[in-house]
Chains A and B, each alone.
Chain A
């Protein structure tokens, strides 16, 4: 498993700048435009200035986006054009090890992207010791969306298939999960819908951890739901991936 992770890391070293550019700078542009720019005209939400309210949402959706994109397009290329997974299967590596290696790598990349944003946000005066506590949550979120990505890779017919999962699921999720607005003020239906999916739970947890508003009971439930999502999606991805590469 770790060998698969290592292969990706070695490739990442070669393409470091490209990777850095979209994983870190893109979220920073959002932070600047929405958080600091647009946010100046907005009254506090949940008694937090908009930029503070938005920041954990941005970190979570960055982790989601980066891990999802990292596990879809490159892995679909490895599966189809490069046939790298087939080649790995010529070695003692099993399909589970390949899958877990890839999920772990995409999750690493997700965490790395979000961490990059955190690191640079220090210069914007958003530094906080609490960053350390939200990192495991960001990693867990990354695992979830990496596993989701690998599931889509295993059933995709071509690159267009990802348009549906991206525009139909990932992007709407980044908008409705309590990232830009408080879910508390939303109609019950929107709240239900948002809490049906994992991103909102991650955002809530991170926001509570970052601003020390932990409620042990509800936050344990948020955490448990994330764990269940991670376990379930990894199991699901494993089933689909096996069907795809072993006949």
Chain B
């Protein structure tokens, strides 16, 4: 697997928490959603950045008060046709104000990069072949009809801006 972060291949400094064991001291560690819910008081004391691992079934509202504690949230796509993670991402970014790294993991393919990026993902765990196609995939469209939390201005805004300038 290759990690793409902010459009470039990056080293993954994160480790996954081992089940039933204490977090490795000093290492940025990703903990499963259920473990956070049941044991957040212990995990808060971790001596390095904390990450959270969510599936499409996990409710982002349940961590509304805690999003600021996470430097990373990874959202799993068990198959790329399971689109729940797109909604999870937008809720985290746009409603709960999550500012850290939002990472798509699992069955993440180049034909989904653009939509994922529009929903707020900025990191992607992918196969090597897909890493090469990253920039091409993100450049496939330059017009957007919908506002999301990203910086791309939708057509509606651009049209009325152009009209106002006339």
Q: Answer yes or no: do A and B interact.
A: no
